[in-house]
Amino acid sequence: MKIFCPNAIVTRVQEIPLKDLQYLGIRGLLIDLDNTLIRWDRTEIDEDVKRWLKQAHDMGFSICFVSNGLKERVRRFSTILGYPAVGRAVKPRRGPFRHALKLLQLSPSEAAVVGDQLFTDVLGGNRMGMYTILINPLSDKELRSTRLVRRLERRMLLRLARQGLVNAGHVESRMKAGNRR
């Protein structure tokens, strides 16, 4: 069960307590793209997300995108935003995370994984022994297969909350946000 357990659940990337991460010795962020930084069906990035990335970078965090998305789409965002990326990542496999850590020259304990999916981002990060942060998906527009996974994800989060492994209030607010969309 613990392998599915994020270290933190926040509503959006802007809520990530960057100072606390630095206190934990974390110096790099491996960030998912679709529905974490960019709405799944969009091609442009919100200004406040760009500002947050710059803020994290200015605080000294190294940044790498790790996305299961198509290589071309991932490369495009990597170029626009100016951070390295690993595309077609097949998370939760460990290879893409290892690749990203190598690009940033960090060890697993020095990096946090940020993403909107429990069974790819969080599971993959946990398998690597990294700090994991689950955020609410930016949009409910997703692949049909992802929508199916969301139902399993909800069940798992509720189970984790019942066992006291994650903050029940945070899980509840994630469910509410999902229902609103």
For the bound state, the minimum distance from the C-beta of residue 61 to Mg ion, rounded and expressed in Å, comes to 19
For the bound state, the minimum distance from the C-beta of residue 158 to Mg ion, rounded and expressed in Å, comes to 20
- Cβ proximity to Mg ion, 35 vs 78, nearer residue: 35
For the bound state, the minimum distance from the C-beta of residue 148 to Mg ion, rounded and expressed in Å, comes to 15
- Which among 135, 166, 163 is positioned nearest to 38, based on CA atoms? 135
CA distance 77 to 44: 9
Q: By CB under 5 A, name the binding residues for Mg ion.
A: 32, 34-35, 116
- Cβ proximity to Mg ion, 32 vs 153, nearer residue: 32
Tracing tokens 């509840």 back to the chain, one arrives at 172
- Cβ proximity to Mg ion, 27 vs 150, nearer residue: 150
- Cβ proximity to Mg ion, 40 vs 61, nearer residue: 40
For the bound state, the minimum distance from the C-beta of residue 47 to Mg ion, rounded and expressed in Å, comes to 20
CA distance 3 to 37: 24
Q: Which amino acid is at 64?
A: C
- Which among 160, 161, 137 is positioned nearest to 149, based on CA atoms? 137
CB–CB of 132/7 below 8 Å?
Answer: yes
